[in-house]
Amino acid sequence: MAPELDGARGRARLVDPFGRAISYLRVSVTDRCDFRCVYCMAENMSFLPKAHVLTLEELDRLSSAFVARGVRKLRLTGGEPLVRRGIMTLISSLSRHLQSGTLDELTLTTNGSQLAKYAPEIKACGVQRLNVSLDTLDPEKFRAITRWGSLQQVLAGIDAAQAAGLKIKINAVALKGVNDDEFSRLIDWAHGRGMDLTLIEVMPLGEIGEEGRLDQYLPLSMVRARLAERYTLTDIDYRSGGPARYVRVAETGGRLGFITPLTHNFCESCNRVRVTCTGTLYMCLGQEDAADLRKPLRASESDDPLFAAIDEAIGRKPKGHDFVIDRRHKRPALARHMSVTGG
């Protein structure tokens, strides 16, 4: 079968072995973060040497290569993307693809700690919406989950983002025995401010310390059943580009999403790949197979070796992931931390 061409640019679109068009790229711009969330990082993390991390110019060139091959949605992640020095230079530069029409959406996932500082600039670059990770509205619990974070600082950042005209979606990781008594409060709060809320099952990535994944894991099938006792939940055909499946909450009028990598594998429609801040391309979040894009990126001023490496990698994209949490699998499914791959 001949490759599908992008008429605007004349280059073959990226299509994996299962016929899924790759239209969504998540780029981690840094492995560093100003929080140490208990499900994401160990408290004493060892971060990458700066020489291993792509420059902002290289991140721009790499992202643009994917845009040239049909990626229509680009999400910057981390770590915490807004702690990367000079990050607004990258966001501003990538916004040219929005202006040219070759990119439909440029967005970020952030912990919100730096939004009070950057929100107006981000909006000025053409970014329309952000995902903010927020697992609790209890200040003491927030500090316990993030180890270092300030809830007040994050809420001020959300205020600033909404004031700047940015749409906000709240992402909350469901943690058994930690925030499982707060989901109704989070729903009412988020929907009361016009924000969608997505609940996410904890993912088995990286060693995180004394607590095991089994201790944290809360099936969202159980969460939904509990919520249905209080709210009227109706499945809706709404997609934000990611793996969340949404319901409408009749009592609030808002949308509630569920991301369920364990209780409901969402791989069949996967259109996403991830690039780390070192230029490593992961074709699947839940597999170890990866491709080094830093080497071809730095080997030539021409993008041809880069395109060839991307093509070869997409040709190996698997059908699905291998995430599992049960009492026979005490260790994480994958050794790398979520902050390395990008949230």
The mean-pLDDT minimum among 162-171, 190-199, 223-232, 311-320 falls in 311-320
Give pLDDT tens digits for 275-286: 999 999 999 876
> What does each C-alpha distance from 193 to 159, 167, 175, 252 come to in angstroms?
10, 10, 24, 10
Give pLDDT tens digits for 217-244: 899 999 999 999 999 999 999 987 778 8
Model confidence, pTM: 0.87
The CATH architecture that domain 24-341 belongs to is Alpha-Beta Barrel (3.20)
Per-residue pLDDT at 5: 56
Looking at residue 246, its amino acid is Y
> What does each C-alpha distance from 116 to 122, 157, 159 come to in angstroms?
11, 4, 8
The mean-pLDDT minimum among 19-28, 90-99, 289-298, 316-325 falls in 316-325
- Name the residue ranges covered by the structural domains of the chain: 24-341
> What does each C-alpha distance from 169 to 62, 142, 216 come to in angstroms?
27, 18, 23
The edge-to-edge listing of strands for the beta sheet with 272-275 is: 233-235, 245-249, 255-259, 196-201, 167-174, 129-133, 105-110, 73-77, 24-28, 272-275, 280-282, 290-292
With cut-offs at 50, 70 and 90, classify the pLDDT of residue 8.
very low
330 vs 106: which has the higher pLDDT? 106
183 vs 12: which has the higher pLDDT? 183
The answer to whether 23 and 30 have CB atoms below 8 angstroms apart is no
Burial 234-254 (b: 16+ CB within 10 A, else e): eeeeeebebbbbbbbbeebeb
**Pairing status of strand 245-249 against strand 105-110:** unpaired
With cut-offs at 50, 70 and 90, classify the pLDDT of residue 10.
low
Per-residue pLDDT at 327: 45
